[in-house]
């Protein structure tokens, strides 16, 4: 933030004595802060307009008022003496407010940084716990999830169209095999004729029903 020292034209203009040889020609201040002088030809019309506009600004009224109270020698000193200019600049209310705001922000920033540093051990501990969970508990959970997914796929496949057809075909084949075994037992007289007839009838009926269901399922559209 930089400030320019406004000067005045017309009736408010500071009358500089004819002996201005004490003011340095090459000052470290920009040309816009050098006071207008009847003996100087370095000031352009645009610079004068800028100074007049700055003086008319309501926010600069306090600075203008303080400059009006200063003598020509004091103004010359402000231009020639960098330390004096800096002291005057820092004494302005606007600058004090800015410095105070900067100090508050700096203090809050330092407090926030200290608070973050105090939390660093906790953050490191949490990071270590996350690593433990990732390497142990997460691996166990992933294994359980994979097993559940396999079970789900098995259930889905067993209840799919092809799975149901396979079940029907297998059940029909089992009934057929059992009826053949029962017939072998009858031939070996391991079962009486009455039991054989009832059981064989049931097995063959089951076999034919399942075979028909399997055939109908294969030809239908689900």
Is the residue at 196 inside a domain? yes
Is the residue at 120 inside a domain? no
For residues 221 and 118, which has the higher predicted lDDT (pLDDT)? 118
Residue 64 structural domain: 10-91
Contacts 24+ apart (CB under 8 A), 127-130: none
Q: Per-residue pLDDT tens for 22-39?
A: 444 444 444 444 444 444
Question: pLDDT at residue 16 above 80?
Answer: no
Among residues 91, 119, 149, which one ends one of the domains? 91
Q: Reduce the DSSP state of residue 7 to 3 states and report it.
A: coil
Backbone angles phi, psi at 167, to 5 degrees: -65, -45
pLDDT value, residue 28: 45
Is the residue at 137 inside a domain? no
Q: CB 20: neighbour CB atoms within 10 A?
A: 15
Is the residue at 56 inside a domain? yes
**Rounded average pLDDT over 76-99:** 84
Q: Which stretch of 123-127, 160-164, 215-219 has the lowest confidence by average pLDDT?
A: 160-164
Taking the CA atoms of 203, 206, 208 and 211 in sequence, report the sign of the dihedral they define.
negative
Among residues 56, 73, 91, which one ends one of the domains? 91
**Rounded average pLDDT over 1-18:** 44
**Rounded average pLDDT over 57-61:** 61
Torsion of CA 212, 217, 220, 222, to 10 degrees: 160
Please state whether the predicted TM-score (pTM) of the whole model is above 0.75.
no
Domain count for the chain:
2
Is the residue at 170 inside a domain? yes
Q: Which of 13-22, 39-48, 189-198 has the highest mean pLDDT?
A: 189-198
Q: CB 214: neighbour CB atoms within 10 A?
A: 20
Give the residue carrying structure tokens 């700055």.
54
Among residues 58, 91, 124, which one ends one of the domains? 91
Is the residue at 208 inside a domain? yes
Whether the CB-CB separation of 135 and 129 falls below 8 Å is answered with no
Q: Per-residue pLDDT tens for 118-146?
A: 988 999 999 998 888 888 887 888 889 99
Cα separation of 33 and 40, whole Å? 14
For residues 34 and 207, which has the higher predicted lDDT (pLDDT)? 207
- What percent of the chain has pLDDT above 70? 71
Cα separation of 222 and 220, whole Å? 6
Helices 93-132/61-68 angle, 10° precision:
140
Is the residue at 21 inside a domain? yes
Q: Per-residue pLDDT tens for 90-123?
A: 888 888 888 889 999 999 999 999 998 998 899 9
Q: Where residue 77 falls among pLDDT bands split at 50, 70, 90? A: confident
Is the residue at 98 inside a domain? no
Cα angle 90, 96, 98; round to 5: 110
């Amino acid at each position: 933030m930089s400030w320019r020292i406004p000067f005045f034209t017309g009736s408010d203009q500071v009358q500089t004595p004819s002996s201005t040889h004490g003011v340095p020609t090459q000052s470290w201040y920009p040309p816009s802060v050098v006071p207008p002088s009847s003996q100087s030809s370095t000031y352009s019309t645009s610079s004068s307009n800028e100074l007049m506009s700055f003086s008319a600004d309501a926010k600069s009224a306090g600075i203008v008022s303080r400059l009006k109270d200063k003598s020509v020698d004091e103004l010359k000193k402000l231009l020639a003496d960098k330390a004096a200019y800096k002291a005057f600049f820092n004494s302005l209310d606007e600058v004090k407010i800015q410095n105070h705001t900067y100090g508050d922000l700096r203090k809050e920033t330092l407090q926030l940084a200290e608070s973050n540093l105090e939390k660093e051990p906790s953050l490191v501990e949490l990071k270590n716990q996350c690593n433990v969970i990732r390497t142990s508990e997460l691996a166990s959970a992933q294994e359980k999830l994979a097993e559940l997914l396999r079970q789900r796929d098995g259930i889905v496949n067993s209840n799919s169209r092809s799975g149901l057809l396979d079940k029907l075909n297998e059940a029909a084949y089992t009934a057929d095999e059992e009826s053949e075994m029962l017939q072998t037992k009858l031939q070996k007289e391991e079962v009486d004729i009455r039991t054989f007839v009832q059981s064989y009838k049931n097995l063959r009926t089951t076999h034919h029903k399942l075979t028909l269901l399997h055939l109908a399922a294969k030809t239908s559209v689900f």
